[in-house]
Structure 1
Amino acid sequence: MSTAQGTKTDPWKLKTPPLTSDYEMYKDEKDEQAIIVCTVGKTVLHYDYRCINDLYAMLKEYGDWMELGSADEQKPAKEGTVEAWGRSSENPVGGWYGLKKGLRGRFGMYVPPLMEALGLAELEHNPRNNRMRAI
């Protein structure tokens, strides 16, 4: 479990599922909406903050390991993966949890390690094809 507060001054310091890259996330607000700011190198992505509870609820209901299936916004997501769910019209927000056009993908890469750090999910750390499940 992370001891970071998840603020701009005390962000969650995370590693991608294969443990190959470092990045940071913190909770913020934009246009009166709670968001997660994800900084990877010089790239800044935004995700709807409610994705944490929504993903947890979906994984709890699913009840098993689910492949992450991370993909850029411009590439199709593999069906039945966390990435596909994070952009599906069937999820609770009816579409993308990613909020910055052109950078809405990679949900399956950056959100699962935060869920693990928050003690909500178990995550595999293989070189590829990682999965997660709710705790």
Structure 2
Amino acid sequence: MEKRTKDNPWKLKTPPLSSEYEMYVTEKDGREIIVCMVGRTVLHYDYRCLADCHAMLKEHGDWMLLGSKDEKQEAKPGTVEFWARSPENPIGGWYGLKKNFRGRFGMYIPPLMEELGLAEVEHKKRNNKMRAI
């Protein structure tokens, strides 16, 4: 899989195509992470989430609601966001790594997976879904 750097980030848009943001891969505390830059806000996700989410979507076999929520909001069961913070996922919890900014997985990771050719993502105003390719 392609890995971009801070000097050459992916330039992406949220699923509804309403906001732009950048992502790149770096290492922190001995682990690869995805850095997500949304304006001045910086989020971190475990790099492993890409392969794990792709495997989960393959097993799911159909479209899945993204269900993006902030960390302090409850994620709806059966959504990508719910899976990304569930104790039942392969890492046993949050793929988001930065306290108070661990949510929004369903907003920022799916477009990267689409860019990498791992998933299809809908681009409606609301209630977008994704599925594995």
TM-score range, shorter chain: over 0.9
Q: Normalising by structure 2, report the TM-score.
A: 0.98
Aligned partners of 1:78, 1:6: CA distance in 2, in Å? 31
Distance 1:131 1:46 in 2: 22
One-letter identity of the residue aligned with 1:95: G
Aligned length: 132
The aligned counterpart of 1:125 is 123
Segments of 5+ residues of structure 2 without an aligned counterpart are none
Partner of 2:114: 116
Quick one: which of 103, 106, 122 aligns to 2:104? 106
**Superimposed CA distance per residue, residues 67-108 of structure 1 (whole angstroms, 9 cap, x where no aligned partner):** 000000000001100000000000000000000010000000
> Any gaps of 5 or more consecutive residues in structure 1?
none
The answer to whether the Cα contact below 8 Å between 2:3 and 2:25 also exists between their aligned partners in 1 is: no
Q: 2:61 aligns with which of 45, 60, 63?
A: 63
SS at match of 2:87: coil
CA contact (8 A) 1:25 1:38 kept: yes
Tell me if structure 2 keeps the 8 A contact 1:5–1:12.
no
C-alpha separation in 2, matches of 1:115 and 1:28: 17
Report the equivalent of 2:37. 39
Alignment of 1:93 with 2:82, yes or no, is no
Deviations 1:46-72 (A, max 9, x none): 000000000000000100000000000
